[in-house]
Amino acid sequence: MKNMKANTRTKLYSKKSYLLVACVIASLLLSFYVVSIKTGEYLKSLESESSTLKTYQELYRRMGGFAGKQNTLLVLANNAEIRTGGGFIGTVGMLETDNGKANTKPLVSVYSIDSSIGCDNKRFAQPAYLQKLSPCATLRDSSNSLDFTTNARQALYFYQQNTNVPIDNVVQITPRALELLLDKTGPIYLKDYDMTVTKDNFRETVQLEVEMGSDKQQKNDPKSGVLGSLANQMISKLIVKDIYQLKDYFSILEQLIQEKQLNIYSQDDKTQALVRRIGADGGVKSTQSNYFMMAEANYGANKSSPYIKNEVDMIQTIESDGTSTLDVTVRSSHTSDYKFPYVDPNNNANMWLIGDNSSHISLVLPKDAQLMNSSLKPDEYSTSGDNKTIIEYDRYLKPLTQTSESFSYKVPTQYLLTDKIVINTVVQKQLGGWPYTLNYSLRLPDKTYKLIAASVESINQESQNPTTIHYSTNIDSDELLSFIYSKSN
């Protein structure tokens, strides 16, 4: 179950003697990429320095080693084999920064670091649904919590235990970074492999080469072969020659953070406070309102996750006594046929790169939410959670099939049906997650209420009952649904 990742080392220089900047908060799945933010001349060139840019500048100073050497563990999570906390971790790297200078260590396969230490230490528990694949907690399986801090601490622990290298920060990135960069560089031709890689084909083309290509056949590490070749080609195209081009990297950085494809953890409390400020901490939000997150964990040992399309219907009804119930239906479709057969050279097994999808699903609801009914039998799901109520179940999808499950629950919030009502729902995206469609409806019991404000646009109101509204959106980042009603005189 080796993942496609990269093995390279790079530094970014400007044409002149500008300060080498770094704010090393990103790396690529197939190469190694440092997103840079120029201090000094670049920030001064802006007409106004926003608080966000100032936060990034301070974060750069801390992670860039200006107050002492910093070691940052780079965790490359493949969300084509998605896990609850981002994706299967097949490759890791390490970045040393000291006084603004960056030294990247070669990316390596996680299997060269992982050991059986997790079986001897009970500090971290392996989820039950993964124990058939691997009975012990490991570095490669340290992406199983909804919260990135928990995952980062596990990755940090196993990396330090197996290498004796102290770690200050952990950065997780998914292949989404490479898609955004290939969109800028255009197609890249790899002469040694007679292969052209684009933003549209790199997942399948390069992944297949990693799993069964010439490097693996010859017992070479694909991460220093095809992935290293791709990395070198990309680096030559991405080296910045003009400091004003850095604005393109900044926009990529912010997009990755918003889409939950980039997460950061620091052991230093002040640095972590800056990480939270830019929204890269990957934490589960606290709220007194309704809350929803859908998280998938593919344990089928293939790369089928991008082909699973999910649609969630959520109908919220406010009762006359102020209580609120929600009816939720989750529809999932496997949109691909069996694709890309290959023979694993390690065991001569016939495999499909894209095949059956076996996933563990977590539906995260408000704390103390009361589950009222479910389409699943009692022995087919479980509930857990301290700060949230989590419904967990397994979902099996063969190619070109679909399935659905329904749940109803009551939220602990009781609304006061006064002259003005504010109804909020926080929808949070899974770390490294794939976009899905949300169809939300809200029903009020009293027709004298009128919708006067909302946090979202394109709301449809029923003509016969305008207090009932419908809203559809694509969940590719966290979203707050807020609706304010006022009672008519």
DSSP string, 359-409: EEEEEEE-TT-EEEEESS-GGGEEEE-SSSEEEEEEEEE-TT-EEEEEEEE
Instruction: Give CA–CA dist 380/130, Å, rounded.
Output: 17
Residues β-bridged to residue 316: 326, 442
- CATH 2.60.40.1170 domain extents, the chain: 290-487
Task: Report the distance separating Cα 364 and Cα 389, nearest Å.
Answer: 6
DSSP state of 249: H
Instruction: Identify which of 182, 230, 200 has the alpha carbon closest to the alpha carbon of residue 306.
Output: 200
Owner of token pair 């530094």: 11
C-alpha dihedral, 361 to 362 to 365 to 370, nearest 10° = 80
The neighbouring-strand residues paired with 439 are 313, 472
Given a contact cutoff of 8 angstroms between Cβ atoms, the answer to whether 185 and 176 are in contact is no
Angle between helix 226-238 and 176-185 (nearest 10): 50
- pLDDT computed for residue 163 by the predictor: 92
Residues pairing with 360 in the sheet:
297, 394
Mutual angle of helices 246-258 and 176-185, in 10-degree steps: 150
C-alpha span between 116 and 120 (Å, rounded): 7
- 253-256, Cβ contacts within 8 angstroms, sequence gap of 24 or more: 253/23, 253/25, 253/26, 253/35, 253/37, 255/180, 256/26, 256/173, 256/176, 256/177, 256/180
One-letter amino acid identity for 311?
Answer: E
Structure tokens at 53: 């840019």
CATH class of 290-487: mainly beta
- The contacts of residue 485 (CB under 8 Å, 6+ apart) are 420, 421, 423, 444, 449, 450, 451, 452, 467
Q: What is the largest CA-CA distance in the chain?
A: 79
224 CB contacts (<8 Å, ≥6 apart)?
7, 106
The closest of 327, 322, 326, 341 to 411, measured between CA atoms, is 326
Residue 149, SS3 per DSSP: helix
H/E run at residue 179:
helix 176-185
- What are the residues whose beta carbons fall under 8 Å from the beta carbon of 232, sequence distance 6 or more? 8, 31
Beta bridge pairs of residue 472: 439
**Between vectors from CA 246 to CA 241 and to CA 248, what angle results, nearest 5°?**
115
pLDDT in the model for residue 9: 29
Q: Which residues of the chain have pLDDT under 70?
A: 1-51, 116-118, 120-121, 208-229, 231-232, 234-249, 489
CA distance 469 to 424: 14
Geometric angle at alpha carbon 141, from 230 and 304, rounded to 5°: 60
Q: How would CATH label the architecture of 41-277? A: 3-Layer(aba) Sandwich (3.40)
